[in-house]
Amino acid sequence: MRGANDNLNQHRAAAALLALAFLLCAGGAVAAAGEITVKTASTNASLPTVTLRGRVVCLAEEIHRTNGVELPSRHEHVWSLKEASGDLYTILPGRYAESIFEDERVRRKDLQLRVHVIPKSHAIEVLTVRSMRNGVVQDLYYYCDVCAIKSVSPAICACCQGPAELKEEPLSRRED
């Protein structure tokens, strides 16, 4: 178990560093002017909020596939949402994106994400993760049957430390 946790922590650290590097590159023009400001949902409600639909892909692999850009055989995955139009949005690590980064079952689904789009980039901060099944929006969450606790995180139950099960249920019309 310890080895799996170490690998997960290394993956999270690598993803965070990659996201930071991406933001710093995207903000290069601002940095040249001598100021860098990165705001999150909790500090800046003025970021554009949109709903995007698509599939999760590795950005490097998708660019390799579509443009022939060289790709090392061993690389870190940079998860991105690919819309039907082909547009790619880099998913930033965060609490509400944990299921995408940690659960392959979520990455295999058609998703509907409510996100903040980071200005001057195609980077997104995930606010909600929903799935699509047969054209119907599904609530996607983790649930502990023992404690009756619902969570957005694939981590073990915060109460009993037992496994939480991935659930997918039709979203009521009032929550669309």
- In order of 14, 139, 154, the CA distances from 164 in angstroms are 25, 15, 7
pLDDT tens-place string over residues 41-73? 444 578 889 999 999 999 999 999 999 899 888
Per-residue pLDDT at 20 exceeds 80:
no
pLDDT, residue 14, reads 45
The 10 Å Cβ neighbour count of residue 172 is: 9
Q: Place 8 in a pLDDT band, splitting at 50, 70 and 90.
A: very low
Domain that holds residue 157: 2-175
pLDDT, residue 71, reads 86
- Transcribe 133-146 into DSSP letters: ETTEEEEEEEEETT
Burial class of residue 55 in the structure, from the number of CB atoms within 10 Å of its CB (0-12 exposed, 13-18 middle, 19+ buried): middle
Per-residue pLDDT at 139 exceeds 80:
yes
> Which of 157, 136, 17, 14 has the alpha carbon at shortest distance from 165?
157
Number of structural domains found in the chain: 1
